[in-house]
Amino acid sequence: MADSEALPSLAGDPVAVEALLRAVFGVVVDEAIQKGTSVSQKVCEWKEPEELKQLLDLELRSQGESQKQILERCRAVIRYSVKTGHPRFFNQLFSGLDPHALAGRIITESLNTSQYTYEIAPVFVLMEEEVLRKLRALVGWSSGGGIFCPGGSISNMYAVNLARYQRYPDCKQRGLRTLPPLALFTSKECHYSIQKGAAFLGLGTDSVRVVKADERGKMVPEDLERQIGMAEAEGAVPFLVSATSGTTVLGAFDPLEAIADVCQRHGLWLHVDAAWGGSVLLSQTHRHLLDGIQRADSVAWNPHKLLAAGLQCSALLLQDTSNLLKRCHGSQASYLFQQDKFYDVALDTGDKVVQCGRRVDCLKLWLMWKAQGDQGLERRIDQAFVLARYLVEEMKKREGFELVMEPEFVNVCFWFVPPSLRGKQESPDYHERLSKVAPVLKERMVKEGSMMIGYQPHGTRGNFFRVVVANSALTCADMDFLLNELERLGQDL
């Protein structure tokens, strides 16, 4: 075999390859893109797990399947998947479908390369540098470093690892055992990745000192100061503060100037987890929410969230110009980062990261940005704020909606108070009963497929809804629909 011919697979038949891909792309356009973003269609088609398993016939078998069967499978996968690009998908910190970003993603997949060397990713090595430069400029830095990471959690971990390496370069080789106990600080509203990261990096979750947040969810700088003193008194060495710009549930922005003052006084690395809120830097109207971010040592910013670049697109930005990433993460693998290459090997980014192969995450953002310009992206951000405000004002006009607080971002948190509970705020089981409303409504909306909104308990508060106004295709009509639909779904409760 194999004497002179490739296997009789599609790979050897350009016509069949093209036919397959055009057919699949047709299904994608019709089902995922057109229907998937149309308000006349469902946002999801709920099936119980056991039924869905049957419908999908997931088992991988010895024999391959025909082209026709494969196309049917593509249709089924799309049909039963949640349409996160749909205007009624309010469930997560991402929503919507940007066609240019999607175009960038399709090109990325067709080129299927790894971002580690200029040799095999010349376009993307240069492009990543330029996109990072642009993001840094929005933070307020004219120089610095950075890298795209597989999600905000890992961006946050990188920041913690860089901060400890900067203070104790020895730990790369010798580990944490020889160091004093370290302490890092973040508010109780921070993303859970800070805790996960502390465990993963060997620091342990005990090293995370939880700073108080005020009633709006913002870190209290005075308590940060107090916690630092306490940690020192216990013999720990504070090394990093992780502030949050745009908390997950409430959408709160920590007061960065005041926190930066504390960090400066104590010589601590300031990391800003702006995974969610970073995109607000594009808005002249709202960027004041992140005032002080230019004083950070590192910033995590996920354009896959509010900018809808597509999962994953998470930048870690650094003020550092001393090649800290490479010193902290490098291992100089000789088979990949040869020093006798015929081009400047400083272009090879692979030793800046703890991954080896690394996806290209810059093209989708770059292409969308080229198409929209700063101005187009700014309009999107501003519109999201306008629509969130519209939603809040409409809620105030209706009986059944109780805001958790006035939002300062595009997370709108509220209770839907069903008819049977209205006016019963004083009854002893009010909060318990109210807490049970959101799960019921969630089940109903998902099973009808009319919309998806997340809910959660939060501190002492029982379950409330969090609507995320992120989809750039949203209109006031969608906000009205959301309110009407909650009233309809909850009218018998």
Q: Within positions 142 to 201, which residues make up the interface with its own copies, using CB under 8 A?
A: 150-154, 157, 161, 171-177, 179, 181, 191-193, 195-201
Q: Which of 285, 331, 425, 491 forms a contact with its own copies (CB under 8 A)? A: 331
Is 74 a binding residue for its own copies by CB under 8 A? The answer is yes
Number of residues that this document lists for the chain: 493
Which 380-409 residues touch its own copies, going by CB under 8 A?
380, 383, 386-387, 390
Which 3-32 residues touch its own copies, going by CB under 8 A?
3-7, 9-12, 14, 17-18, 20-22, 24-25, 28-29, 32
CA distance 472 to 5: 50
Walk across the sheet containing 89-90 and list its strands. Answer: 89-90, 452-458, 461-468, 411-416, 401-403
Nearer Cβ to its own copies (87/255)? 87
Structure tokens at 389: 């405000």
Q: At closest approach, how far in Å is the CB of 218 from its own copies?
A: 17
Which 404-433 residues touch its own copies, going by CB under 8 A?
none
CA distance 321 to 305: 27
Which 249-278 residues touch its own copies, going by CB under 8 A?
249
Structure tokens at 222: 């005075």
Q: What is the dihedral of CA 171, 177, 183, 184, to 10 degrees?
A: 50
CA distance 194 to 205: 9
Q: HEC states along 12-53? A: HCHHHHHHHHHHHHHHHHHHHHHHHHCCCCCCCCCCCHHHHH
CA distance 44 to 41: 9
CA distance 276 to 248: 7
Q: Which of 40, 58, 267, 460 forms a contact with its own copies (CB under 8 A)? A: 58
Nearer Cβ to its own copies (283/372)? 372
Cα 271 to the center of its chain, rounded Å: 17
Which 289-318 residues touch its own copies, going by CB under 8 A?
304, 310-312
Q: At closest approach, how far in Å is the CB of 77 from its own copies?
A: 5
How many residues bind its own copies (CB under 8 A)? The answer is 179
Q: Which of 90, 124, 185, 239 forms a contact with its own copies (CB under 8 A)? A: 124
Segment interacting with its own copies (CB under 8 A) among 79-87, 255-263, 397-405, 421-429:
79-87
Which 208-247 residues touch its own copies, going by CB under 8 A?
none
Q: Who contacts 490 (Cβ-Cβ below 8 Å, separation ≥6)?
A: 400, 416, 418, 419, 437, 440, 441
Q: At closest approach, how far in Å is the CB of 406 from its own copies?
A: 19
Q: Which of 373, 393, 396, 432 forms a contact with its own copies (CB under 8 A)? A: 373
Is 73 a binding residue for its own copies by CB under 8 A? The answer is yes
Residue spans of alpha helices (H) in 81-149: 99-111, 122-139
Q: At closest approach, how far in Å is the CB of 257 from its own copies?
A: 27
Which 339-368 residues touch its own copies, going by CB under 8 A?
340-344, 347, 354-359, 363, 366-367
Q: At closest approach, how far in Å is the CB of 53 from its own copies?
A: 6
